[in-house]
Amino acid sequence: MTFNDLNLNTPLYNALDDLGFTTPTPIQAEAFNVVASGKDMVGIAQTGTGKTYAYMLPILKNLPFSTQETPRILILVPTRELVVQVVDDIEKLAKYINVRVQGVYGGTNINTQKQAIAEGLDILVATPGRLYDLALSRVLQLKSIQRLVIDEVDVMLDLGFRHQLINIFDILPERRQNIMFSATMTHDVDVLISDFFKSPERVSIAVSGTPLENISQQGYNVPNFYTKVNLLIHLLKDDNTFNKVLVFISTKKWADMVFEKLEAIFPDDSCVIHSNKTQNYRLRSIEQFRNGINRILVATDIMARGLDIDNVSHVINFDTPEYPENYMHRIGRTGRAEREGCSILFSTEAELEFVKQIETLMGMTIPVMEFPETVAIADQLIEEERPQIKERHNPAKKDETVGPAFHEKKAKNQKENLGGSYKFKIAKKYKKPKTRGDKNYNKRKK
**Can you give the length of the chain in residues?**
446
At 207 the pLDDT is 52
CA–CA separation, 293 and 297 (whole Å): 11
**pLDDT bucket at 204, cuts 50 / 70 / 90:** confident
Choose from 295-309, 395-409, 410-424 the range with maximum mean pLDDT. 295-309
Q: Give Cα separations from 380 to 229, 385, 409 (angstroms).
A: 12, 9, 61
How does pLDDT run across 360-412, given as a tens digit for each residue?
Answer: 988 899 999 999 999 999 999 998 888 876 656 655 555 555 556 666 667 66
Numbers of helices and strands, H then E, in the chain: 17, 13
Number of alpha carbons in the 13 Å side-chain half-sphere of residue 245: 26
**Least confident span in 233-237, 249-253, 330-334:** 330-334
- pLDDT of the residue at 421: 65
**Side chain identity, residue 51:** K
Residue 304 scores a pLDDT above 80: no
Q: Which of 382, 352, 383 is nearest to 368 (CA)?
A: 352
The answer to whether residue 164 scores a pLDDT higher than 80 is: yes
Please report the pLDDT score of residue 178 as a whole number: 94
- Burial string for 230-258 (b: 16+ CB within 10 Å, else e) reads bbbbebbeeeeebebbbbbbbebebbbbb
Distance CA 213, CA 419 (A): 87
Return the pLDDT at 423: 67
Confidence check: pLDDT of 73 > 70: yes
Shortest CA distance to 86 belongs to which of 77, 99, 94? 77
Tell me what pLDDT residue 392 has.
Answer: 62
Q: By the 8 A CB rule, do 105 and 80 touch?
A: yes
pLDDT at residue 9, rounded to an integer: 93
As a whole-number percent, the residues of the chain with pLDDT over 90 amount to: 53
Q: What is the pLDDT of residues 79-102, one digit of tens each?
A: 888 999 999 999 999 999 999 999
pLDDT at 420: 61
What per-residue confidence (pLDDT) applies to 37?
A: 93
- DSSP per-residue codes, 175-189: S-EEEEEESS--HHH
Helix, strand or coil, per DSSP, at residue 246: strand
- Of residues 218 and 394, more confidence is placed in 218
The side-by-side arrangement of strands in the sheet containing 341-347 is: 215-221, 341-347, 314-317, 245-248, 296-299, 270-273
**What local confidence, expressed as pLDDT, does residue 34 receive?**
94
Greater confidence, 359 or 446?
359
CA distance 82 to 103: 10
CA distance 213 to 334: 11
pLDDT over threshold 70, residue 439: no
Please, are residues 315 and 333 in contact by the beta-carbon 8 Å criterion? Answer: yes
- The better pLDDT of the pair 65, 420 is held by 65
The CA angle 101-182-314, to the nearest 5 degrees, is 90
- Residue among 260, 277, 303, 258 at smallest CA distance from 78: 303
What is the tens place of the pLDDT at every residue in 14-38? 999 999 998 998 899 999 999 999 9
DSSP state of 343: E
Mind listing the pLDDT tens digit for each residue in 309-346?
Answer: 888 999 999 999 887 878 888 888 888 766 789 999 99
For residue 132, the SS3 value is: helix
Most confident of 160-169, 181-190, 313-322: 313-322
pLDDT at 64 over 60: yes
* pTM listed for this prediction: 0.63
Domains of the chain: 3-204 (3.40.50.300), 215-379 (3.40.50.300)
- Residue 91 CA: distances (Å) to CA of 81, 179, 279: 16, 20, 21
pLDDT classification of 275: cutoffs 50, 70, 90: confident
Strands 73-76 and 201-204: unpaired
Q: Are 371 and 222 in contact (CB under 8 A)?
A: yes
How much of the chain, in percent, has pLDDT values that exceed 70?
Answer: 83
Mean pLDDT for all residues in the chain: 86
Say how far apart CA 132 and CA 227 lie, in whole Å. Answer: 46
Residue of higher predicted confidence among 205 and 72 = 72
